[in-house]
Amino acid sequence: MYDELAYELTVLPGTNKDGEKEGFDRIIIRPGDTLSIVGATGSGKSAFVNDIEVLAQNDTVTGRSILINGEEPSEDLVRDPAKKPIALITQNTRVIADLTVARFLALHMQARDTGAQSLIARTIDLANEFTGEKIAESMRMTALSGGQTRSILIADAILIGQTPILLLDEVENAGINKERVVSCIREYKKSVIFVTHDPYLALITDKRVIMKNGAVAGVLEPGDRERAILQTVTGMDAFLWELREKIRGGELISDPVEAQSTRKKAGVPA
Ligand SMILES: Nc1ncnc2c1ncn2[C@@H]1O[C@H](COP(=O)(O)OP(=O)(O)OP(=O)(O)O)[C@@H](O)[C@H]1O
Ligand SMILES: [Mg+2]
């Protein structure tokens, strides 16, 4: 087992899609840091987190290298998934093993040598805070929806894997409660990188990496300067979440006054 908080990642520059060197010196991700990766479709956001996931050593399409605690990662860290302090969850992440949710989590607990039986229930409970339709222990992993699968994998990475670094590639589109995911990541002091097109996630992270043409085009550290807009966006999101829940629940949204009051409650300017 690794010490949960002992990992600092360094990303060293590679080249853009034209083979030109990227214009940054190094990007350091410290324990508990939150980053978002933004940029147009095809700009290289997924490639950036993939480099981190595979602990690239100038051996991927981007030519980037990743250091752990300032050093080249050791062979066994690169090769043994159970030792890797990183979990990547994407839109396409699926579990192909035909196991029940409880068995899947139990196997992971064995591999990680962690925790008591009660951890399985806690993990499923946490996943159920992220997703809408409830997940039960007896369900088969292959039968879960995309959003349910991602919710289980995030909860699993946090509680069972105790993974210090989470890479979440466009997870917001699965109807996952992203506010709850963010608060949970804070609570457990994880480092997280969100690849995202979502303003809330982009604004809530400490740093924002901007991708263009396969390269990092800039890194913003907004500090408090985006606090006002974050508040507005949080309100808008709460409004949209409630509206989405109503629509999902089969309600007809015919009353603009009611919609207005939900919006006011959420603090969204008219
Ligand atoms: N630095 C680079 N050099 C060469 N090819 C690159 C580089 N970065 C990304 N690519 C390639 O460009 C393509 C698009 O990149 P990627 O999938 O990372 O985009 P994205 O920003 O995640 O897009 P989307 O928002 O659609 O998910 C991929 O085939 C990827 O391998
Ligand atoms: Mg992508």
Cα of 55 vs centre of ligand 1, distance in Å, is 17
52 domain-assigned:
yes
Q: Is the pLDDT of residue 206 over 60?
A: yes
61 lies in the same domain as 159: yes
Residue nearest (by alpha carbon) to ligand 1 atom 7:
214
265 domain-assigned:
yes
Segment 118-144, tens digit of pLDDT? 899 999 999 999 987 899 999 999 999
Q: Tell me what the mean pLDDT of segment 145-169 comes to.
A: 92
Q: Which atom belonging to ligand 1 lies closest to the Cα atom of 37?
A: 21
Supply the mean pLDDT for the chain. Answer: 89
Residue nearest (by alpha carbon) to ligand 1 atom 9:
44
3 domain-assigned:
no
Report the CATH number that the domain containing residue 38 is assigned in CATH.
3.40.50.300
176 lies in the same domain as 151: yes
**Would you state the pLDDT for residue 4?**
47
Structural domain tally of the chain? 2
**Would you state the pLDDT for residue 253?**
87
140 lies in the same domain as 211: yes
2 domain-assigned:
no
Q: Which atom belonging to ligand 1 lies closest to the Cα atom of 47?
A: 18
Q: Is the pLDDT of residue 50 over 70?
A: yes
Q: Tell me what the mean pLDDT of segment 32-43 comes to.
A: 96
Cβ atoms < 10 Å from Cβ of 185? 19
64 lies in the same domain as 161: yes
User: Range of 240's domain?
Assistant: 224-270
Segment 60-87, tens digit of pLDDT? 999 999 999 999 998 888 877 777 889 9
234 lies in the same domain as 195: no
200 lies in the same domain as 181: yes
160 lies in the same domain as 132: yes
Q: Is the pLDDT of residue 51 over 50?
A: yes
1 domain-assigned:
no
As a whole number of angstroms, the distance between CA 34 and CA 195 comes to 11
Interior/surface letters 154-176, b for 16+ CB within 10 angstroms, e for the rest: bbbbbbbbbbbbbbbbbbbebbb
